[in-house]
Structure 1
Amino acid sequence: MGVAPTNYRWSDDSKTIFFSWNPENKEKDQAYKVSVLTNKPETTEDNAAEKAAGTVYTYNKDKSLGLFEKGGDVYLYNFEQKKETRLTNTVDRENGTKFLYNNDVIFQRGDNLFQLSLSTSETKQLTNFVKGKRPGLGGPTVPGAPERVAPTVQDTWLKTDQTELFDIIKKRNKTGGRGQGFAGAAGGRRFGFGSADANFKTIKAIYLDDKFLSGLTVSPDGRFVTYRLTSPVTTNHNTIVPNYVTASGYTEDIAGRTKVGETLTVSESFIYDGTKDSVYTVHTSQIPGIKDLPDYVKDYPKQLEERTKKNEDRKINFGSPIWNENGTTAIITADANDNKDLWILKLDANTGNVSILDRQRDEAWIGGPGVGRNIEWIDNNRFYFQSEATGYSHLYTYNITNGEKKQLTSGKWEVQRAILSKDKTTFYISGNKEHPGITHFYKLSVNGGDLVQITAMKGGNEITMSPDEKWLAINYSYMDKPWELYIQANKPGAKAVQITKSTSAEFDSYKWRQPDLVSFKNRYGDDVYARVYPAANPHPNKPAVVFVHGAGYLQNVHYWWSQYFREYMFNNMLADNGYTVIDIDYTASSGYGRNHRTGIYRNMGGKDLTDQVDGVKMLVEKYGVNPKHIGLYGGSYGGFITLMGLFKEPEVFAAGAALRSVTDWAHYNHGYTANILNEPYNDPIAYKRSSPIYYADKLKGNLVMLHGMVDVNVHFQDIVRLTQRFIELGKDNWELAVYPVEDHGFVEPSSWTDEYKRIFKIFETTLKK
C-alpha cells in the first residue's frame, strides 16, 4: 500500500511541520520536515521536531515569564531579559508548575504542593499529605514501630481521669504541648536550647490511609487546594488470558481486565483552606437529581421498591475545579456512576457547597463528541461546553453573572472538536455540517454568528494548527485515496497544497472503487447511511455480502479513507468476484446525533441488526441481489452482529464470518457495556436480550468463527463458551479458527491472510451454490 505520514508537529516559530513518514519502504518510519515557504519535504534528525518545537512553557498572565520542567526540576524564563533561572535542584521530581495571579510559583513535589515567591525567594509548603493512618488510629507510623490502635473506653476514661487530677495536664492541654523547649510528637521542631522559633507554623496533616490521592488543584490566589481521595477496591475478580506460544515453552498468564458489574471505585472530593488550615468535603447532597433513579428499574418492581425506600444519593465522581483567571469563580463537573447525568456546577470554595449551572440527563447514557470534556473559561464571566440537549452535540457558552446559557451552533450535525483561539475571540471547529460523511474546519466568534468554513476539500480533513494560528497542516483523504499531508493558510478560500505522495506503485496499479454512498429509511423511519460496492460482473446467483464495522459507536460510511482499509480492499475483491457488498452505519454508529448513538440502549442486536436486514431489502430492490444468497461478516462488534444475524434472522443470512466476537455481554468490560446495558445484576433482561449465546439454538446458516487466543479485549473464553454451547446443542454447520499469537487487533500478515482466505471460502462455497 505504502505508508501514510503521521504524527504532525509544528515548530515553535510556525514555519516548519515535522512528521513521520516512510515513502521508501524502509524498516521503520523516518523523521521528515517541510517548510511552509518551500512545500518540499525532506528528511531530518529524529529529535529535530523536539528541538524546533522549543520549550513548553506555563505562562504568567502577561506572558512575560514562563515556567518549564527539565530533569525533574523547575526553571523560570524571563522573556524580557532572556534569562533562564533554575528554581529547584532536588533529588525529588517537581512537576505541575503554574503561576498564581501574584506571580508566585506553584509546584508539586511528591504528594504535596509548594509555593515559591519570586520576590522573596521563600518557599512555603501548602499541603501536608501523609501516607498511612493517623497516629493512634491503627497502623504503625514508622516502619517497624508497634501498631497504634484506636483508643478504647478504658483509654478514654484514664485520659479524662488524668486531666481531672492534675493541673499540669489541664495547662498543657490548653497550650498544646509539654512546655517550653520540648519537641514532642505533636510539638513540631526544636530550634536551639530551650527556645522555639516563634514564626514556625504547623500545617494540618492530612492522612491518606490506604487511599489514592489525585486531582491536586490550587486556586489562583493559592488559598484553596482541592483534591480527590479514592479507596481501593479489593473485592473484584481480575481475569487472566493464557498465552500458549511463548519463548519459555510454558503457558504464561496475561493479567486481564475485570468484567462488567464489578465494583467501581468512587472518589471523594475535598477542599483544604490554607488560610483556615481546615479541610471540608465538596457536598454531593445539594446536586439536583442526585437521588433520581433510572427509568429501567420500572421493569423490576422489587428493585424499584427497595431503591425508592432507601432513597440514597447516587454515587458520583467530581472532576477538578476549573478556575477563572482572576480566581473569583470555580466550576466543577460531576458524573453519576450510572452515567445518566452530567452536571456542571459552581463551587463555593469557602464552604464546599455547589450550585447547578447545567444538567445533562440521558435515560440511556451521557455521551457524544466533546460532551463532559473540553470545558474552558473564555473570560472571567463566561465558559464554554458541549451538550446534546438538541439531539446533536453543539457548542454553548454560559455567563455566570446573569445565568445566560447561549447556544452557538445548531442543526442536524455534530461539533466534533472545538478549540478556543489564543486571544479567546474565536472558536475553531471541526464538524460534519455539510454531510455526515464529510468533515470540515470552521471558525466562529465566541459571541456567536456565522460559521465560516475554512477547508474546501471533500472528504476527511484532520487539522493540526500552527502555534501562531496562521497555518493548517491537513491530514486529508478520500474514499479511494489514503491519508496525505496538505498545507493551507488558515483563511477561507486558501488553496490546500499537497505535500506527500505515499501510495505504492502496486497499490496505484489497481482501480480502487469509490463506493456508492447512499441512504435508506429503516423500518422505524430513520435515515441510515451506507456504502455499496456494486458487483463488476454479478455471479448468476447475484449474491451479496454485508460488512459490519466494529466498535459500535464508530463511523465507516464517509468520504474519507476507511480505518478498515483491509476490509475496504477485501470488499473491492468481493465485488470483482461477483458479489454486491454493503457497509452500513447502523444504529449506534457515530456522527449522527444522540438518537442514533443511543438507539441500542438495553437491546444490542435490536435496531443495529434490523438496519442490516433493511439494508439487504434495499439491495434487493435497487441493486437486484438475490435475497436467498446473502452473507455477512465483521469483527468485534461486527462479529457480534454477525452472530446475531445468523441466530435471529436465519431466513435472511445464509452464511457469516464472525471475527473476535462478543458472545455474552456479561463477560465484557464495564466502561463500555454498563452504559448500554446497565449492570447484569441490576438489568438481567437487557443482557439476555442482547447476548448471542442465548440464541445459539437458532443457528441455521453456515458460520465460521475466528478469534485470537491472546485477545485481552474480547477474551478467547467468549468464543470457547459459545463453542461448548454449539456442541451441547448438536449443531454441525459451524467451525472455529483460532490464532494462537494474536490479540484483538491482528498483527501478523500470515494471520490476516489466513483469516480472509477462510471468509472468502465460506462465501464462495455457500452463496454461489
Structure 2
Amino acid sequence: MKKIFLSVSILVSVATFSQEITLDKIYSGYYRGKGIAGIASLKNGENYAVIERGGIAKYSYKTSAKEGNIVDGSFESYQFNDDESKILLLKKSQPIYRHSFLGKFDVKDLKSGKTLSLNNGNYVQEPTFSPDGTKVAFIAENNLFYQDLYSEKITQITQDGKKNSIINGLADWVYEEEFGHAKQYEWTKNSDAIVFVKSDETEVPEMYIPIYGKQLYPSELRFKYPKAGEKNSMVSAHLYRLDSQKTVALNLLNFKNYYIPNVYKTAKSDEIVLITSDRLQNSSDVLKVNTKTGTIQKLFTESDDKWIETDNVTLEFLDDNSFIWGSERDGNRHLYWYDQNGKPKKQITKGNWEVTDYYGFNPKTKEVLVQTTEKGSINKVVSKINIETGKSTLLSNAEGNNSASFSGNYNYFIETSSTATKPYTYVLKDGNGKTVKELQNNDEQLKKLQADNMVSKEFITIPNEAGDQMNAWMLKPKDFDPSKKYPLFMFQYSGPGSQSVSNSWDAGNGLWFNHLVQKGYIVVCVDGRGTGYKGTKFKKVTYLNLGKYEIEDQIAAAKWFGKQTYIDKSRIGIFGWSYGGYMASLALTKGADVFKAGIAVAPVTNWRYYDTVYTERFMRTPQENAKGYDENSPTEFASLLKGKFLLIHGTADDNVHFQNSMEFAEALIQNKKQFEFMAYPDKNHGIYGGNTRPQLYQKMTDFILENL
C-alpha cells in the first residue's frame, strides 16, 4: 500500500472569486503551480534535458541557456541509451496499474536521424536499451522480446506468456504495487545476456471487479490478487544468452527464493545481482549470478527481527565492483560499503538521522550524494559525504524539503525545494551548493494564496502515552482568538514508514484544509508511532499489530488538543484516505467517545482483505497472527460507533477493494448504526476523473459543516 497523494488540479468552470480560498478556485487550477518536467542530465555533465511543449530541449548547466531541441515533437517521456546516440520516445500510453502501462515507442538515432517504431508500432511494456545501444528489450503480451535496431529483427525470448497465468520479465499486480516497479529483467553490461523473472500466477486467487460504464451489462476486470495468507505467484529466475538463443533456469534452491523483488547489473560484464526474500520479508539474500556459467554466489544476507524494506532498496556498484548498500541495521537507515565479494568494508553514514534518498557516487571525490534528515525529522536536505573520511558537506537549504538532480559529472545539480510556507522552487547549483541561477519559482502562486488569506502550518510536538514526542502541524484561522473555542479537524495517514508532518509545500490537501480553516476550523495532523524518519524503534513498534498503537496515538493526540483552552473537545473530527481511512474508521469505533465525526475514504477494514506482500511484511499471515488481524479491524468494533460517519469508496478500486467498505457497512447495519455511504462508480483508489474530485470534496466539506 503506497500513500495516495491527493491532487486538486481538475478543471471546472470558475465562478466570481472572493478573497478567500474556495473549492471553485482550487478546482479551476487558479492556484496551480509551475514545475520542470523530465529533467535528465546528459553524459557530458555540462548539459541537461527537459520536456517542453515543442520537444525535448537541451540546456547548459553553466549558463542555464537553452541550446536547442534534441528532438522536436510531443512526447510523454524519454530515455537515452548509454552513449546518448539514440533516444527512446514514448508517444502514447495506456495505464494499467500504479506503475505499469502499455506504450507506443519510437527509437530515434540522433546521429543519422533515422526513426524506428518499436515492435512495428504495437504496444509494449518496459522497453530498455541494451548497454551497447544496438538493441531494445521489451515485453508484449507477457512475453519478453528484443529488437535489433539495425536489422530491425524482433526476437522472441519466451513463448509461454499468458494473461493471468504466466508473466515474463514483468511484475504481477502485487509485486508492482508493493515492490514499487513493473520491470523484472536486466541486460548484462556487455549486452550479451538478459536475466529475467518469470511469475507463474496460475494458482493465485482471482479478483474480479464489475465495471458499469454506459453499457447494458457490466463488464469485469479480472486479475490475480493474493490476499494475506493466500498463494502468491511462483517466481523463478532465468538466464537468456543472445549467442545461443537459449534460456536456462537459475537454481535458487539453496537461497531465499519466495520473492525476487529486484534485478541489477553490476560493474562487471558478465554479472547480474538478484535480491531475493523469504515470505516474511525479514531476511533477504543478495545473490551474484555469473551469466556465462549460470553459477550463483551469495554475497550476504540482510536480516531483521521484524521486517526489511524490500520496497526501498539502495544498491550501486562502483567501478571496482565494490558496492554501496542501504540498511536499517543500526536503528536508522544508513549506507554501507561492501567489497565485490560481499565483505563489509565500512559504514559510510552514521548518526541519529536517516538517509532518505541516494543520488549517486562521484569517483573523483570519493563522495556519495544523498538526501537525509540530518537537520531534523521534518526536514530533508542534500549532502555529499566522503566514503573514506565520513566528512559531510551540506549542499542544499538547511530547512524544508530539498531534492536534487545531479549532472553526470556531479559538477552541477538542480535543486527542487519547498517549505510549509514557500511553494516549489527550482535552482541550478554547482557541485559545492553555490547558486548559479534560479530556474523557476512559484511566487505568483504564493501571491494568489496570500491575497486569499492563506495560513501556514505551525509545527509542534505533542506527547503520546508511551512518552514519545510526536511531530504535528496545526493550521489556525487568520483571526485566531485564544479565548474562543474552535472545532478541531484531524488529518492523518499513519501507515508504516510514512510521513504526513513535514516542512514541505502541501500540493495535495493543503488548499482544502485552508478552505476549512476559513470556515472556522482548526486543522491538525499528527504522525504517531509507526510513521517514518524517526528511527526503526519508533517505526517498527507496530509489528504484528497494525492499527493498535497508531489509533492509540491519534486518540491521545485528540485528547491532548481537547485539553487546550482554544479547542472545543466536543467537536473533534478526523479524516483519512487508504491507510488513513482505516485509521478514521478505528477512530469512530475504538475512539467513539473522543471523535464526534469522521470521514474514511477507501479504507482497509480488515487486513485479511489486503495483499500478501504489504500485509504480511508487517503482520505475518492470518494463519500465524489471527489475533493481530481481528483485534485491529474496525469491523470487529462496529457496535461502538457513536458519532457521524461518512464512508467513501470507488467501486473499481483494484488496490483496497470495495469489499472492505461493503463488509464494514454490513457490520454497521447489523449493529443498527446510522452512517453515510458514498460509492463512486468505476473509480479506482484515487477516485478522480471528470468532475469526480470537485463533487467528492464538496460532499466532504458539506459533511464537516453539518456534523462538526
User: Same fold by TM-score, threshold 0.5 exceeded?
Assistant: yes
Change (3 A) 1:409 1:73: same
1:361 paired to 2:389: no
Give the Cα–Cα distance (whole angstroms) in 2 for the partners of residues 630 and 433 of structure 1.
Answer: 35
Give the Cα–Cα distance (whole angstroms) in 2 for the partners of residues 46 and 75 of structure 1.
Answer: 10
Give the Cα–Cα distance (whole angstroms) in 2 for the partners of residues 129 and 495 of structure 1.
Answer: 49
Give the Cα–Cα distance (whole angstroms) in 2 for the partners of residues 124 and 707 of structure 1.
Answer: 47
Q: Tell me the equivalent position of 1:488.
A: 429
Q: Tell me the equivalent position of 2:268.
A: 325
Q: Which runs of 5+ in 1 are unaligned?
A: 22-28, 60-64, 134-209, 291-313
Q: Tell me the equivalent position of 2:664.
A: 722
Change (3 A) 1:3 1:83: closer
Contact residue 280 and residue 620 of structure 2 kept, 8 A:
yes
1:7 paired to 2:7: no
Aligned-pair distance for 1:642?
Answer: 0.9
1:385 paired to 2:325: yes
Give the Cα–Cα distance (whole angstroms) in 1 for the partners of residues 244 and 63 of structure 2.
Answer: 60
SS of residue matched to 2:80: coil
Aligned-pair distance for 1:382?
Answer: 1.0
SS of residue matched to 1:706: strand
Amino acid at match of 2:435: A
In the TM superposition, what are the counterparts of 1:729-748 in structure 2 within 5 Å? 729-732=671-674, 734-740=675-681, 742-747=683-688
Amino acid at match of 1:658: A
Q: 1:543 aligns with which of 487, 493, 500?
A: 487
Change (3 A) 1:212 1:467: same
Aligned-pair distance for 1:737?
Answer: 3.0
Contact residue 407 and residue 413 of structure 2 kept, 8 A:
yes
Aligned-pair distance for 1:358?
Answer: 2.7
Change (3 A) 1:376 1:506: closer
Change (3 A) 1:754 1:41: farther
Amino acid at match of 1:667: Y
Give the Cα–Cα distance (whole angstroms) in 1 for the partners of residues 596 and 303 of structure 2.
Answer: 42
Q: Tell me the equivalent position of 1:299.
A: none
Give the Cα–Cα distance (whole angstroms) in 1 for the partners of residues 116 and 59 of structure 2.
Answer: 37
Contact residue 271 and residue 279 of structure 1 kept, 8 A:
yes
Q: Tell me the equivalent position of 2:419.
A: 478
Q: Tell me the equivalent position of 2:473.
A: 531
Amino acid at match of 1:394: H
Change (3 A) 1:663 1:124: closer
In the TM superposition, what are the counterparts of 1:610-629 in structure 2 within 5 Å? 610-621=552-563, 624-629=566-571
SS of residue matched to 1:720: helix
1:264 paired to 2:232: yes
SS of residue matched to 2:433: coil
In the TM superposition, what are the counterparts of 1:285-324 in structure 2 within 5 Å? 285-287=253-255, 315-317=258-260, 319-320=262-263, 322-324=265-267
Change (3 A) 1:107 1:638: closer
In the TM superposition, what are the counterparts of 1:21-60 in structure 2 within 5 Å? 48=72, 56-59=80-83
Give the Cα–Cα distance (whole angstroms) in 2 for the partners of residues 760 and 91 of structure 1.
Answer: 50
In the TM superposition, what are the counterparts of 1:97-496 in structure 2 within 5 Å? 98=130, 131=159, 212-214=167-169, 226-243=195-212, 246-248=213-215, 250-255=217-222, 258-261=225-228, 262-270=230-238, 282-287=250-255, 315-317=258-260, 319-320=262-263, 322-325=265-268, 327=270, 331-347=273-289, 354-367=296-309, 370-371=312-313, 374-400=314-340, 403-421=343-361, 423=363, 425-456=366-397, 458-494=399-435
Give the Cα–Cα distance (whole angstroms) in 2 for the partners of residues 333 and 321 of structure 1.
Answer: 8
Change (3 A) 1:448 1:67: farther
Aligned-pair distance for 1:532?
Answer: 1.6
Structure with more of its chain in strand, by fraction: 2
Q: Tell me the equivalent position of 1:18.
A: 50
Change (3 A) 1:32 1:350: closer
Aligned-pair distance for 1:20?
Answer: 5.6
CA RMSD of aligned residues (A): 4.6
Change (3 A) 1:218 1:16: closer
Aligned-pair distance for 1:719?
Answer: 2.0
SS of residue matched to 1:650: coil
Aligned-pair distance for 1:275?
Answer: 10
Give the Cα–Cα distance (whole angstroms) in 1 for the partners of residues 261 and 458 of structure 2.
Answer: 46
Q: Tell me the equivalent position of 1:201.
A: none
Aligned-pair distance for 1:407?
Answer: 0.8
Contact residue 328 and residue 334 of structure 2 kept, 8 A:
yes
Kindly indicate whether structure 1 or structure 2 has the higher relative contact order, using CA contacts under 8 Å at least 6 residues apart. Answer: 2
Q: Tell me the equivalent position of 2:654.
A: 712
Change (3 A) 1:640 1:591: same
Contact residue 452 and residue 492 of structure 1 kept, 8 A:
no
Amino acid at match of 1:131: Q
Change (3 A) 1:701 1:68: closer
- Percentage identity across paired residues of the two chains: 19
Contact residue 398 and residue 404 of structure 1 kept, 8 A:
yes
Contact residue 41 and residue 499 of structure 1 kept, 8 A:
no
Aligned-pair distance for 1:588?
Answer: 2.6
Give the Cα–Cα distance (whole angstroms) in 1 for the partners of residues 350 and 624 of structure 2.
Answer: 37
Give the Cα–Cα distance (whole angstroms) in 2 for the partners of residues 503 and 668 of structure 1.
Answer: 39
Contact residue 424 and residue 441 of structure 2 kept, 8 A:
no
Amino acid at match of 1:441: V
Q: 2:605 aligns with which of 655, 663, 688?
A: 663
